[in-house]
Amino acid sequence: MSVKEIAGKMIEFDDDDFMADYTVWDQSVAEVLAKEEGIDPLTNRHLEVLDFMRKEFEENGTAPSIRKLNKLNVVPTKELYSLFPGGPAKKAARIAGLKKPHGCI
What residues are annotated to the active site? 104
Helix/strand/coil for 96: coil
d(CA 53, CA 64): 6
Q: Rounded to an integer, what distance in angstroms lies between the CA atom of residue 78 and that of residue 15?
A: 30
Smallest CA-to-CA distance from 52 within 101, 104, 96 is with 96
Question: Cα(48)–Cα(33) distance, rounded to whole angstroms?
Answer: 16
